[in-house]
Structure 1
């Protein structure tokens, strides 16, 4: 490969809007590795639902643009379930990953990863930047929250590995993220550069456990986050830090190290004009995700090799790792996948296994047959009303059910329900408190069934919530 081809092989670009042809031409001209699909690239109908055939056609055009090599191009997406889901209905809506932590069921995580990935494969994707292997520290974590499987490092490790295995079983390449751990910093790297003040021993004991587990399980890709870790390299984002990549490789990892999106504020303003791309590669990254300007990043990498700022050997190593991973993926063949919505029953099963009672009765109805609802978004209230009807509950009178989202005020009313991370229940004066970890139809069905006394709540808190320790929940047989 020429230097220009090698530089393209380590860049995974994004595009804005739906001009697929223009983006495909950029991929062809710069020999780029493929593309990631973001929310504004997804073809939708007037009601906002994904148009599966159109999405498949987009991916086929982008795959063709990065063809011509003995391995397939990357067609990637961020589809974790819950908050981070670029593709909505009619694809299955999955609850937040914290649901698996509440359910405490590795097999369920693996089955769900496979089902989610099968629908992606049906649309022509071959890579998903999931799962989130971060260990959340609780309410001081402003970014990850319910994207984390658990506040327990061992649980986060086992469940993220199982979810990764499910993705791989359906032919989708997973990526454990965000090393060295975004769940225990107090700033959002989309907005600024968080600082992780923990020492190496603390990181080893907590944040790094899921990533070690991912490496030991053979997960092919690990994403580095834009987090400064003074114990490794003060003031430098981990995604651009040689010491960070060294720590990751010390785990025995020989797969692809991919940066978090390089157009995020933690790096974009600090390292303009393609600097971030060159610095990340020099530090040890293999795949550069979403540089703000792909052409500028490509030119900067080629120029850095020409000037000796970036060694040919380092670029070769990165390009070979990406090519090897995709060649291996190509040998798996193109799975047929399953049609959109095929995982709906399993998604409902996850939520039914996760719903958690922090305060209130564990047996029998929690409401007298009728309820009122406040809080949440209009769609949340509509889904709740529909689920209540299916459970035999009337709307408009009776106890007040207050729906609270991530980062929202403490739950009020007679029954406070956390829809995402359960931190909002810590200061809630409501006598009954539940967490459902999702805003899907299945999550609301699980909630309504518990309220009506038609089901028990088997979930256990995967993280402490105020005075409620991790593990709080109704006893199970």
Structure 2
């Protein structure tokens, strides 16, 4: 089993993908809209990929709500963006209850089709003038509220048997570029980062998994994006923030990164990431990523096992009642 997560091409596995999964043995697989058609189809696909791997591998998805929802209507409920929860609550406690409920319902949807990891909550605090790539995907511009609502969402997922992945550590909220397309450079001082960007992650440092940011923080390390920076990973993520869970990269195929795909993977692992992520399903890229990813062992293996151990049980939940309460709350904010 190797320290990487890969994407798939389509709605089912072909012979080439089956062989790749068997030979490369990724820790997990991530699904996107191109992999999703119906409940029955997704359930078949998750069973199929686990059969190819010969184990109950984690299956991930980005199911945030709003603009980022891979399982969509009409087969799944349409969830609001994270920013809507702050508007829905009369106070922070009520907003957090709604965030919990939305995530608990998402977890029910995901577990039903064999998905057990959700790349949520987004703990970035958007700054004035930042790129719209984050915007309403974040819970709040206020770091304390972002921390509280993000925690509620993570707990809602875990109550439903789905492991959360907080992102994008140590913070994407100041980025003025989309890391899918280019490398964002943040010139804020360390004091500014410590006051606004890092606190939501510090408050949630005990969560099981986190996804790195492909962002350069010039006050910390001007030479490399956070994903590939020993200083950012060691001094900030593991040190100041205190996160000791499983650290995975954001997608290595994003244009913020340069070099061959094997080099991208090797640099991230050398910087201290536990796991590398490659999403687009292109095996010509995924093969070199697998070659650059080590066997999952040592501390990284311990973190991976601990991350999944937190969601073995599903708490009892009145789904119909939860849906009714959630829809009533969301209807109040339009």
TM-score using structure 1 length: 0.63
Report deviation, 1:324.
3.5
Report deviation, 1:235.
3.2
1:76 pairs with one of 39, 52, 60: 60
Q: Deviations over 1:198-236 (max 9, x none)?
A: 122111110111101111xx3101111110111121131
Is the 1:121–1:338 Cα contact (8 Å) retained in structure 2? no
1:160 pairs with one of 136, 141, 150: 150
* Structure 2: distance between partners of 1:337 and 1:126: 17
Higher RCO structure (Cα 8 Å, ≥6 apart) = 2
Alignment of 1:122 with 2:122, yes or no, is: no
Structure with the largest fraction of helix: 2
Structure 1 residues without counterparts, runs of 5 or longer: 44-50, 303-311, 356-445, 447-477
Is the 1:27–1:34 Cα contact (8 Å) retained in structure 2? no
1:37 pairs with one of 31, 41, 50: 31
Alignment of 1:15 with 2:8, yes or no, is: yes
Report deviation, 1:74.
1.1
Structure 1 residue runs of 4+, over 6 Å off?
334-339
Paired position in structure 1 for 2:238: 249
SS of residue in 2 equivalent to 1:319:
helix
Count of residues in Structure 1 that have an aligned counterpart in Structure 2:
321
Report deviation, 1:183.
1.5
Report deviation, 1:299.
1.8
After superposition, the CA RMSD in angstroms is 2.3
* Structure 2: distance between partners of 1:236 and 1:342: 48
Paired position in structure 2 for 1:294: 286
Q: Deviations over 1:139-160 (max 9, x none)?
A: 5332111101111111111000
Q: Deviations over 1:317-337 (max 9, x none)?
A: 3233223323x157x157899
Paired position in structure 2 for 1:322: 304
Is the 1:122–1:338 Cα contact (8 Å) retained in structure 2? no
* Structure 1: distance between partners of 2:54 and 2:217: 38
Structure 2 residues without counterparts, runs of 5 or longer: 90-94
* Structure 1: distance between partners of 2:150 and 2:127: 17
Measured at CA, do residues 249 and 198 of structure 1 come closer, stay the same or move farther in structure 2, by a change above 3 Å? same
* Structure 2: distance between partners of 1:134 and 1:63: 32
Q: Which of 1 and 2 has greater Rg?
A: 1
Q: Deviations over 1:53-84 (max 9, x none)?
A: 1110111111223344xxx3110100000000
* Structure 1: distance between partners of 2:315 and 2:13: 24
Paired position in structure 2 for 1:348: 327
TM-score using structure 2 length: 0.89
Alignment of 1:220 with 2:202, yes or no, is: no
Matches within 5 A, 1:196-207: 196-207=186-197
Is the 1:194–1:227 Cα contact (8 Å) retained in structure 2? yes
Alignment of 1:56 with 2:35, yes or no, is: no
Is the 2:166–2:210 Cα contact (8 Å) retained in structure 1? yes
